[in-house]
Structure formats: structure tokens, C-alpha cells
């Protein structure tokens, strides 16, 4: 077992580009660049893949979470934890704009997943939001939330599949997080399936069942247990984060990913995006150390960042294991 000191020494030498387990080429992250102001469609991973499901995480961490899911020209956003201006800038960097967003699914209403500053934009653009019914009281307790409800933009969901965007079948999975819980989502289109789960204290069997067979998986890998224990955070906060209704550690996330891999067909899970990494109690080199234990994950992992977008991660219609652009070796 590595000691914290060993890890910190290694961390100072490591850069993300030297971590080939992670297949992110950040030079690709801003392909299409800011000059693509007029783009209405999602940025493709190659025109042949326009009909495939694809994912771009616009930012992830305690400072704000948001991800965009596309197929063809239609786009669904999961969480609005970055402000509208930041989101708009990152969408442009991803080759699209706010006008492409047809619906928003919220995991829960913590500030890092939904910013009330979005309300004016949602009203102006008439973008509907989908929210599990157990969160409605939190939304309705805010004047801004009431405005969304009055405008008919709030759609309450339960565990039944719903279709927020034509051709997108979405199912919520209830997950343990703080008092009210959070939602994981399974998104299925004719171009592939995505499992998305963040902010959960442990992995229930329902999540493994729901995500078995998805092509793309986005799941949080929030903290390293040892760094959490040794951090200067107050005891109550450590207890909350490490409890069964807190966040997933790297080890918990790895076990879940491996279980999903074990249960799926050999080629079904093509790529994994790790979300919500703690800056204070985690580090890419530690995440790498955990996930490199399984050679099947080689070149299949992208680590989402707080301040930059991921590249578009596309379902490969041939199911060859992972996207050619992301296939970097150790």
C-alpha cells in the first residue's frame, strides 16, 4: 500500500498527459474552438458518428457539474451546476450552443448541480427541466423555482422511463445521498446507451442492474479514503462524505465499474468517465493507481475536470471497445 507521502511525491511528478490509463487528449477538448459561434448541432466525433450517442462533460466537481448528451442535432443536459455564462462558453468550446439544449435532467438540487441563476435563461428559452418528485419541495421553496413551475417547465419524474427529448428514453435510478437522495440516469437512444451517476454514498444493486450493458458510463470517483481521513476537514464532514449517503470513494467506484464490466457483454462498456473528483482529497495519480488494477480499463477512462470540458466521447457503432481517438496505450 502506498503511503500518502509516496503518493504526494509521485503526484508532484505526474502530469495528466503522462497517465495513459486516462485517454483524454486535452488538446482535443477545445476542438471546433470558440469560433464556432453559430453551431446549432452537437459537435461530432466524426461525421459518421453523428447518429451515435455521445457525451461531453462540461465540468465536474464540488464547484459545479454539468454534462451534455447528444445524438444527431438533439441535446439533453444533465445538471446545471455551472452558471449560464460558463456553460455557454463551454458549450461553444464543445462546438454547440445553448439553443441546441432541448431538456435538462437534474440529479438533485444541491448548488453544485442546479444554480438558481439558470431560471431566467430557462424561462427565456423555454427549456423544460425534469426532476424527481421527491425534490419538488426543495424547488418550490425557492421563489425562482416557483416561477419555473408556474411557467409549466417543471416535469416531475419517478422511476418510470420518460422521454425528455424525442428518441431519448431516460430512466431515473434513486440513489443514496444526504437526506433527499439523488438520481442516476440511464439514457437510451438508437445510437447507444449511457449510465450517469454522481453524488451517491454507496452503489445499490439497482444501479448495477440498470447500468449493465450501457456503452458509456459516467460515475463519480470522489475521494481517496486515506486522504479523506488525514485531511483537516471537520469530523462531521468526513463522516458525511464517507457515509452510506455521501460520495463514492475511488475504491467504491472501481468496484462498481468492474462489476458492470463483469456483467456486461465483453464489448458493451466502451468508455468510462469519472466524475466529481475532490480537489482536496483526491488526485489523478491516485485514481490511476486504483483503476489500472484492471487491464480491461486501459485507454477507456476519462477523468472529468472542474475547469475544462472533456472531449466528446462517442459510442462506437462497431462496439470495438473504445473510441479510436481515445485509444491511448500505457
CB of 275 to Zn ion, least distance (A): 9
Question: Exposed, middle or buried: residue 34 (CB in 10 Å: 0-12, 13-18, 19+)?
Answer: exposed
Between residues 193 and 273, which has the closer beta carbon with respect to Zn ion? 273
CB of 42 to Zn ion, least distance (A): 25
Between residues 168 and 223, which has the closer beta carbon with respect to Zn ion? 223
Give dist(CA 93, CA 302) in Å, integer.
Answer: 18
Query: Is there a contact between 325 and 316 (Cβ–Cβ < 8 Å)?
Result: no
Give residues in contact with Zn ion (CB under 5 A): 112, 199
Are β-strands 182-189 and 192-197 bridged in parallel, bridged antiparallel, or unpaired?
antiparallel
| C-alpha pair distances (Å), 169 with each of 54, 107, 161, 302 | 15, 16, 6, 25
Between residues 112 and 215, which has the closer beta carbon with respect to Zn ion? 112
CB of 110 to Zn ion, least distance (A): 5
Between residues 62 and 268, which has the closer beta carbon with respect to Zn ion? 62
Between residues 112 and 224, which has the closer beta carbon with respect to Zn ion? 112
Q: What are phi and psi for residue 220, nearest 5 degrees?
A: -75, 150
Instruction: For residue 184, give the 3-state DSSP assignment.
Output: strand
Sign of CA dihedral 309, 198, 51, 163: negative
Question: Exposed, middle or buried: residue 166 (CB in 10 Å: 0-12, 13-18, 19+)?
Answer: exposed
Between residues 198 and 285, which has the closer beta carbon with respect to Zn ion? 198
Give dist(CA 66, CA 156) in Å, integer.
Answer: 20
Give dist(CA 192, CA 156) in Å, integer.
Answer: 25
CB of 307 to Zn ion, least distance (A): 16
CB of 266 to Zn ion, least distance (A): 33
CB of 81 to Zn ion, least distance (A): 7
Amino acid at each position: 500500500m502506498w503511503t500518502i507521502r509516496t503518493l504526494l511525491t509521485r503526484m508532484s511528478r505526474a502530469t495528466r498527459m503522462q497517465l495513459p490509463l486516462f485517454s483524454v487528449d486535452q488538446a482535443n477538448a477545445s476542438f471546433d474552438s470558440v469560433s464556432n459561434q453559430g453551431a446549432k448541432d452537437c459537435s461530432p466525433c466524426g461525421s459518421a458518428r453523428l447518429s451515435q450517442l455521445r457525451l461531453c462533460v462540461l465540468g465536474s466537481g464540488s464547484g459545479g457539474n454539468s454534462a451534455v448528451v447528444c445524438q444527431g442535432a438533439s441535446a439533453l443536459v444533465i445538471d446545471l451546476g455551472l452558471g449560464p455564462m460558463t456553460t455557454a462558453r463551454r458549450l461553444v468550446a464543445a462546438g454547440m450552443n445553448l439553443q441546441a439544449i432541448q431538456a435538462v435532467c437534474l440529479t438533485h438540487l444541491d448548488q453544485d448541480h442546479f444554480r438558481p441563476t439558470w431560471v431566467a435563461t430557462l424561462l427565456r428559452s423555454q427549456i423544460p427541466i425534469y426532476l424527481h418528485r421527491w425534490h419538488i419541495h426543495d424547488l418550490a421553496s425557492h421563489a425562482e423555482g416557483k416561477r419555473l413551475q408556474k411557467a409549466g417547465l417543471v416535469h416531475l419524474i419517478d422511476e418510470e422511463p420518460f422521454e425528455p427529448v424525442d428518441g431519448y428514453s431516460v430512466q431515473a435510478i434513486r440513489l443514496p445521498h444526504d437526506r433527499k437522495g439523488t438520481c442516476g440516469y440511464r439514457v437510451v437512444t438508437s445510437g447507444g446507451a449511457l449510465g450517469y451517476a454522481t453524488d451517491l454514498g454507496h452503489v445499490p444493486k439497482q444501479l448495477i442492474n440498470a447500468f449493465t450493458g450501457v456503452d458509456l458510463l459516467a460515475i463519480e470517483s470522489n475521494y481517496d479514503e486515506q486522504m479523506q481521513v488525514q485531511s483537516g476537514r471537520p469530523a462531521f464532514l468526513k463522516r458525511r462524505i464517507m457515509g452510506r449517503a455521501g460520495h463514492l470513494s475511488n475504491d467504491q467506484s472501481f468496484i462498481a465499474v468492474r462489476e458492470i464490466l463483469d456483467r456486461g457483454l465483453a464489448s458493451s462498456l466502451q468508455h468510462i468517465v469519472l466524475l466529481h473528483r475532490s480537489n482536496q482529497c483526491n488526485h489523478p495519480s491516485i485514481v490511476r493507481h486504483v483503476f489500472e488494477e484492471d487491464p480491461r480499463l486501459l485507454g477507456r477512462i476519462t477523468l472529468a475536470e472542474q475547469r475544462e470540458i472533456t472531449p466528446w466521447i462517442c459510442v462506437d457503432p462497431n462496439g470495438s471497445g473504445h473510441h479510436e481517438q481515445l485509444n491511448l496505450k500505457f
